Amino acid sequence: MPKYASFDHTKPEPQQVNGWYDTDSLKYPSLPDFRDLLVLTQEQWDARGLDVTSWAVQGGTLIPYTPPMPLPQQAQILLGQKLAQGIQVTSDSLPLINATYALDPTSTAQIFQIGTFANSFQEFPSGSDTQLYPDITGQPHIFTVPVFIAFLRAVAALVSNMQLQAGVMANGGTPAWPQQIAALS
């Protein structure tokens, strides 16, 4: 009796192997439908190892297979990559801040902390009406209170929209990623 790899023939190729049957060693009360079985050579049986997820059937042949990453994980990775690109800021009223700024969690938290304080008290935490804040390369730029508040709003809107798009992607939808650009007045 032969050895088999089982798969679901109704799924698109490559069809992931979902079981192994050695009818020489074991007697099975029943086997899957013959259309869901691939007869294996002894060499294929020996090469398969114990990991079911590492193999698939394509064109009637057993092939090495890496299952696709789950959508939620793909979405989080893509969101992280997009956040790592930062936000490109331009300002007509304060052109010295024109640069790309980081959107990693630490930078975003700093922007929210500084911007919320400035919005609440019309000054920066230092008590000054200007604030140095670094761009993505570490180069500091001088912000005024109104421009930093506009920066905070742009970052909040962008990050929120990007997280929303990651959620759309994680649930199987097609995300509409926003441009990572902000024109501040």
Residue 24 has a pLDDT of: 87
Residue 67 has a pLDDT of: 82
Give residue for tokens 């800021």: 89
Rounded Cα gap, residues 155 and 137, in angstroms: 17
Rounded Cα gap, residues 158 and 101, in angstroms: 12
- CB–CB of 145/50 below 8 Å? no
Q: Tens of pLDDT along 68-123? A: 889 999 999 999 999 999 999 999 889 999 999 999 999 999 999 999 999 999 99
